Amino acid sequence: MIKVILYEDNPQLREGLTMLLNGSEGFKVVGAYKNCNNVVEEVEAFRPDVILMDIDMPGINGIEGLKLIRQRNFDVKILMLTVFDDNKNVFEAIKSGANGYILKKTPPARLLEYVEEAASGGAPMSSSIATQVLKMFSEIHNHHSEDYNLSEREKQVLQLLVNGYSYKMIASEMFIAIDTVRSHIKKIYEKLHVNSKSEAVAKAFKDKLI
């Protein structure tokens, strides 16, 4: 059962998403809120697997809420919900530790797939947003390239992370135990000075590590 918390200020959309998830096998909404004013307490109380987070909300907005969660919790998967695929918010969300970035107009069946993908270690993005991300990184010029002393094995794991592989898929692809994958990823995070998969992927692109 994938436990989900929703943060969405539009009551109709919040209720619609709650009904969609609760009415689908394998999903359960454990909390639904109109802003992030008590986000730290709520996440600690309900221990969700995935958070669906609107960006534009009154009070503490989605980006600020994301940052507050990441100060204490690096495990929960956070998917940002937005109406627009604008560069500034995409980059800020990825930099702050979002696991994925999807448009509100995403069809219900696809949204469920995105939540499931995030829960299993993926980094789902709506196609138009993925295009924006690639464009963003291609526009970063004259950036000094570093290798951060990654071993060949760590670079291979990082490449698979960039390709969207989950821990389980990486273990299968490289014929290693999932605990070994976790060990490699922990070392990659330490060497890159990041705290999440999305940050590692962003840095891999930005510093041309792969």
In sequence order, which residues have a C-beta less than 8 Å from that of residue 175 and are 6 or more positions away?
none
- Write the pLDDT tens digit of every residue in 21-63: 999 999 999 999 999 999 999 999 999 999 999 998 988 999 9
Q: Which helix (H) or strand (E) holds 6?
A: strand 2-7
Multiple choice CATH, 152-206, 1.10.10.10, 3.10.20.740, 3.10.450.50, 3.20.20.70: 1.10.10.10
Query: Of 167, 154, 72, 43, which Cα lies nearest the Cα of 117?
Result: 167
183 pLDDT more than 70: yes
Task: Give start-end residues of each CATH 3.40.50.2300 domain in the chain.
Answer: 2-137
**Threshold 0.85, pTM exceeds:** no
Where does CATH 1.10.10.10 sit in the chain? 152-206
CATH superfamily of 2-137: Response regulator (3.40.50.2300)
Give the whole-angstrom CA distance, residue 50 versus residue 115: 7
